[in-house]
Structure 1
Amino acid sequence: MRRVSTLASPTLFRALATGRFEVVTGGTTLGVQHRLLQGALYGSATGCAVRRQWFRFLSGSWGRAASLGVAGALISLAGASVISEDVYAKEPPPPELVPKDVVLYQYEACPFCNKVKAFLDYYDIPYKVMEVNPISKKEIKWSDYKKVPILMVDGEQLVDSSDIIDKLRDKIHLQKSDLNPISSDNEEEKWRKWVDNHLVHVLSPNIYRNTSEALESFDYITRNGNFSFTEKITVKYAGAAAMYFVSKNLKKKYNITDERKALYDAAETWVNALNGREFLGGSKPNLADLAVFGVLRPIRYLRSGRDMVEHTHIGEWYSRMERVVGESSRIKA
Structure 2
Amino acid sequence: MQQTGPKGELGDFLRSRRARIRPEDAGLPVFGGRRRVPGLRREELAQLAGVSADYYTRFEQGRAENASESVVGAVAAALRLDAVETAHLTRLVRNAGRAGSVPAAGAAAEAEQLVRPGLRRLLESMPGTPAFVLGRRTDILAWNPLFAALVTDFAALPPQRRNKAWLVFLDPVTRGRFVNWETKARDLVAFLRFDLARHPHDARAAALIAELTERSPEFGPLWRAQEVAGKTHGGYHLRHPLAGEFTLDYESLSLPDDPDQTLVTYTAEAGSPSEAALRILASEAARGAGAVDGSGARDASGAAPAPAPRPAARTDRPA
TM-score normalized by structure 1? 0.28
Higher gyration radius (CA): 2
**TM-score for both structures, normalised by structure 2:** 0.29
| Bigger relative contact order, structure 1 or 2 (CA pairs below 8 A, ≥6 apart) | 1
